[in-house]
Structure 1
């Protein structure tokens, strides 16, 4: 009985923790990004990047071979951009904050990453978007 109770509590806490995550629609995210100053001509690249990095899911986490972790919608890496044992935290944000449905801080961080490295900072963009057919966004506006 104690084990069953513990499992129920664990499941409840798991779902509670995920309740702040969100899976965005392509058009929803494209409009949010445009409304936050991202140029419309870049939105096709951003949608391709997000689709291939996180599947539009803010709670996405990926563990990399070298021990680093990518967080959230844009798969922002903890080696350079958010707080971790690596110490860089160039975006001055917690990695955990990249996993919720409030993407304002994600967008600020993405601007910094893009300013320094353009889209080439993201492996998925390099492998699946660069020089390839990009998703349309014209139907979103």
Structure 2
């Protein structure tokens, strides 16, 4: 009995540690478009830039981590860099986040940081956007491709909630 308990204890500990797995998600283009517009209120006039950026930075994959030549890493859907906007292993950087927090399926913190980066540095912060999305002709027409309505159903023409 004692031998069984000695063997079973490490197995149980490993199982419990395994329960806290990081979930990741690979989005489809239109799925992410609708999530960003409907859940996170992204401006529809810039949504094609954001989707193009994410497609060329992370291939729409929330768990992507890229090792950079300067020994830093880019994390998550928006490939946020560990040199300035987050810190590996602990909260820090300009977004005050652990970099690893950007590599799971909770994209709320990624979005908050990406919006701050875009406000400060513009889309040019992202090399994938610079290479592939800067020319407006290269942007996907998400209104057609993803059936993106010009107005959300709960908003009036001015953008205020009706009712």
* Range into which the TM-score falls when normalised by the shorter chain: 0.7 to 0.9
Shift of 1:79: 0.4
Shift of 1:58: 0.4
Greater RCO, CA 8 A, separation 6+: 1
Residue in structure 2 matched with residue 62 of structure 1 by the alignment: 66
Q: Is the counterpart of residue 111 in structure 1 residue 128 in structure 2? A: no
**Match 1:27 to one of 23, 26, 30:** 30
Structure with higher Rg: it is 2
Q: How many residues align?
A: 126
Aligned Cα root-mean-square deviation (Å):
2.0
Separation in structure 1 between the aligned mates of residue 132 and residue 69 of structure 2, nearest angstrom: 19
Task: Answer whether contact 2:88 2:100 (CA < 8 A) is retained.
Answer: no
**Match 1:134 to one of 129, 133, 139:** 139
Matches within 5 A, 1:30-109: 30-35=33-38, 36-84=40-88, 89-109=93-113
Instruction: List gaps (5 residues or longer) in structure 1.
Output: 1-8
Stretches of 4+ aligned residues off by more than 4 angstroms: none
Task: Answer whether contact 1:54 1:74 (CA < 8 A) is retained.
Answer: yes
Q: TM-score by structure 1 length? A: 0.82
Task: Answer whether contact 1:79 1:88 (CA < 8 A) is retained.
Answer: no
